[in-house]
Amino acid sequence: MPVVGVLGEPLRTSAVILDAKHSLVAQSLDSPLGAETVNGDGFGIGWYPVGSEAGTHPAVFHSIEPAWNDDNVRELTRAVESPLFFSHVRAAAGPPIQRTNCHPFRWENWLFMHNGFLAEFSKVARDLAFAIDPSLYPHVRGTTDSEVLFHLAITFGLADDPVGALTAAVDHVERVGREHGILFPVQGTIAVADGATIWALRYSSQGESRTLFHSVDVPTLRRMYPDADRLTEFGDTAHVVVSEPLNDLPGVFVEVPEATIAVLDREGTTMSPSEPQPEADAAAVPPLPEASARNGGWVVVTALAAAQFVMVLDSTVMNVSISQVVEDLGTTVSAMQAAITFYTLTMAALMLVGAKLGDLWGRLRAFVIGAIVYALGSLTTALAPNIVVLFAGWSVVEGMGAVLVIPAIAALIADNYEGVRG
């Protein structure tokens, strides 16, 4: 989920969202440092008007279209100039694709965005929601863990002490997560703004957080790169915080260290350590295993692996039994090769569609529907009296079932497995 925050003199927002070499829209298609290479499940921008100060209310725009395919993103970002703005592209990891789940989130004069996740959110969502101030709960409009985290920070005093509130919110998530046996409850980077200042936190329970960078001050960059025309777009007090550098020029972006809060204002960037200390009994924290399974345990993971094996075995069996099938159905080798080729093409052409349907319907539902379709295709293939019926049953019906099942298998294994990953 690439993110970008910009502070300084008014800047046309397209300068970093569209026009940079590694712009936010470019990163939505290819995010080399991100956990998700493609981030096409929504876009958002929040911006403060020219002349804003602490307390000024921002405007927001959200879309569920992929950023690279939304004309409104181009029209808007080329028209809007702002002294402080956030932008975010989303890769849905469970919560549905809807505008209320798109970042940045807004409350009064505050903007918030999050690149990461709260592990096993379904286990802790109820307890975390109960910790939100009752007066704030009606403002929780979506279903994401990020929005809950934002409202926890508000509850813990974001308006008075942003650093303390962010730390307290993470502390609370850590404590609740450990009480539910979650090894690494928090992952990611968090950014908030009040109209004049940006606070950006890089933290994860495991100590392996998503990347976060801030820019070097513009006067220094102009001395380093006197021929870089693009630097003329940025004022002397401009500062940028990003999940990934916007260009390849050495020294332009500096990585924010692990467990650190960066504070960006018109005076520059300062950083301080931030190591949340959840109030949890250390003896109650489970030891770190090499790997473990959840939500049904190894039975689920084994069943999913078996389903994947069947998909692979099916193609292998058909290839090695061509001569027998040709003899039984009275057809030709070329016809059988055409059936095998069409089966492969069906999966190649529709695999991304199947993955997207899994996001929209839910991975388990997509898996079940795909498995039923695949089973019907297998039955039709087994009973096929001629090559036409075999072609329809195997190449078409089984192929369509497979494009739902295979992406769902990968997602469901990820949902049912935890531990150290490479």
Q: Report pLDDT for 405.
A: 86
**What is the pTM assigned to this prediction?**
0.68
The CB-side HSE value for 259 (13 A sphere, CA atoms) comes to 10
Q: What angle do CA 186, 189, 194 make, to 5 degrees?
A: 120
Give the tens place of pLDDT for each residue, 251-261.
999 999 999 99
306: exposed, middle or buried (Cβ count in 10 Å: 0-12, 13-18, 19+): exposed
Report how far Cα 197 is from the mean position of its chain's Cα atoms.
25
Is pLDDT of 421 > 50?
A: no
Average pLDDT on 257-274 reads 91
Q: Report pLDDT for 298.
A: 67
Q: Report pLDDT for 420.
A: 38
Q: What is the 3-state secondary structure (H, E, C) of 239-259?
A: EEEECCCCCCCCCCEEECCCC
Give the tens place of pLDDT for each residue, 297-318.
567 778 878 888 887 777 787 7
Give yes or no for a cis peptide into 104 (omega within 30° of 0).
yes
Of 15-24, 216-225, 366-375, which range is least confident?
Answer: 366-375
Q: From CA 344, how far away is CA 327, in angstroms rounded?
A: 23
Is pLDDT of 334 > 60?
A: yes
Helix (H, G, I), strand (E, B) or coil at 105: strand
Q: Report pLDDT for 283.
A: 40
Under 8 Å CB-to-CB from 255, ≥6 apart: which residues?
Answer: 211, 212, 213
End-to-end CA distance of the chain: 20
Whether the CB-CB separation of 231 and 218 falls below 8 Å is answered with yes
Q: Report pLDDT for 32.
A: 80
The confidence band for 136, taking pLDDT boundaries of 50, 70 and 90, is: very high
Q: From CA 139, how far away is CA 193, in angstroms rounded?
A: 18
The confidence band for 222, taking pLDDT boundaries of 50, 70 and 90, is: very high
Question: At the topology level of CATH, where does 3-284 sit?
Answer: Glutamine Phosphoribosylpyrophosphate, subunit 1, domain 1 (3.60.20)
Is pLDDT of 1 > 70?
A: no
The confidence band for 266, taking pLDDT boundaries of 50, 70 and 90, is: confident
Q: Report pLDDT for 417.
A: 53
Q: From CA 243, how far away is CA 213, in angstroms rounded?
A: 6
Q: Report pLDDT for 356.
A: 83
Is pLDDT of 289 > 70?
A: no
Residue 142 or residue 296, greater confidence = 142
The CB-side HSE value for 80 (13 A sphere, CA atoms) comes to 26
Q: From CA 172, how far away is CA 66, in angstroms rounded?
A: 33
Helices marked H in 271-332: 297-320, 322-329
Q: From CA 190, how far away is CA 200, in angstroms rounded?
A: 6
Residue 285 or residue 18, greater confidence = 18
Average pLDDT on 12-31 reads 92
- Helix or strand run (H / E) with residue 36: none
> What's the sign of the alpha-carbon dihedral 267, 156, 46, 145?
positive
Whether the CB-CB separation of 89 and 62 falls below 8 Å is answered with no
Q: What's the whole-number average pLDDT of the chain?
A: 87
